[in-house]
Amino acid sequence: MKINTARFGEIEIEEERIFDFKLPIIGFGELRKFVIVDVNQDSFFKWLQSTEDPSLAFPIISVFGMNVDYSIDLPDEVVEKLGISDVEQLLVMNIASIPQDNPQGTTINLLAPLVFNLNTHVAGQVILSGSGYDISFPLFKSN
């Protein structure tokens, strides 16, 4: 399947790589179909591209494996809605905000991670209420 994107032009994706967001991305509730695009294999960043809106792509990153103290506890209703039966089937990513004029000022939304069920291809943005996590966690330490 080919999709047109504002950022990457026309790209070819396999339909089975499309995730159905059962828990929509905050502020984008009308958009449910997204694909993870890996533009640069050497980068920590990937892109979450809407298949319904060519202009919408979020930079995303997994903080696991980085030097960030982060763990998530998913509420039972999220586990049920996303059909989670095994943590091995999960991919957790966080939306990044990268200032064009200052990439060193990149922040990550730790409060509302994106949770992907790799087996069923459903996903959702989950707010970790009461976690103490921030929506603007600095990726790089300032000197």
- The CATH number of residue 115's host domain is 2.30.290.10
pLDDT at 6 over 60: yes
Does residue 140 or residue 105 have the better pLDDT?
Answer: 105
19-59 per-position pLDDT tens digit: 999 999 999 999 999 999 998 888 889 999 999 999 999 99
Mean model confidence pLDDT for the chain: 93
Q: How many domains does the chain have?
A: 1
pLDDT at 122 over 60: yes
CA distance 138 to 116: 23
Residue 143 belongs to a domain: no
User: Quick one: pLDDT at residue 67?
Assistant: 82
The DSSP 8-state label assigned to residue 82 in this structure reads: T
Residue 29 belongs to a domain: yes
Percentage of the chain surpassing pLDDT 90?
85
**What is the separation of C-alpha 136 from the centre of its chain, rounded to a whole number of angstroms?**
15
Domain with 98, as residue range(s), is 2-138
Number of Cβ within 10 Å of residue 88's Cβ equals 7
CA distance 142 to 79: 36
pTM of the model: 0.93
- The DSSP code sequence of 42-76 is T-S-EEEEESS-TT-EEEEE--BTBS--------H
User: Quick one: pLDDT at residue 21?
Assistant: 98
Strands 114-117, 90-97: pairing is antiparallel
